[in-house]
């Protein structure tokens, strides 16, 4: 099976849905050109797309069952720190 690493820009610091090939493995989140970006290992030949709910929470913010931790990124030269989780079912 061929696999590739694909990236998914995240455009909100809240809950959002990211569609990716079925069976994708979430790898990391980092800033790329001032945009929080999620990288995932995917099968590029997988036709079926599945939704992945991504929860982004700022340090000190309340959250309910955020999910599996993916990573942390910083904005505004480290003044704002966000933690990213994949929702679990």
**Residue-wise pLDDT tens digits, 15-73:** 899 999 999 999 999 999 999 999 999 999 999 999 999 999 999 998 887 799 999 99
Q: How far is CA 63 from the centre of its chain?
A: 16
Say yes or no to pLDDT of 12 above 80. Answer: no
**pLDDT (0 to 100) of residue 89:** 58
Domain hosting residue 78, numbered range: 4-86
How many domains does the chain fold into?
1
Higher pLDDT among residues 77 and 27, named by residue: 27
Q: What is the DSSP string of 14-56?
A: SEEEEEEETT-EEEEEEEETTEEEEEEEE-TT---EEEEEEEE
Q: Give the other-Cβ count within 10 Å of 32's Cβ.
A: 12
Q: For residue 77, is pLDDT > 90?
A: no
């Amino acid at each position: 099976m061929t696999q590739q690493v694909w990236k998914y820009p995240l455009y909100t610091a809240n809950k959002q849905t990211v569609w990716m090939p079925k069976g994708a493995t979430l790898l990391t989140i980092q800033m790329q050109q001032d945009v929080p970006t999620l990288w995932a290992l995917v099968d590029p030949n997988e036709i079926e797309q599945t939704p992945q709910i991504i929860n982004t929470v700022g340090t000190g913010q309340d959250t309910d069952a955020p999910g599996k931790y993916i990573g942390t990124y910083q904005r505004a030269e480290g003044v704002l720190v966000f933690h990213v989780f994949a929702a679990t079912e």
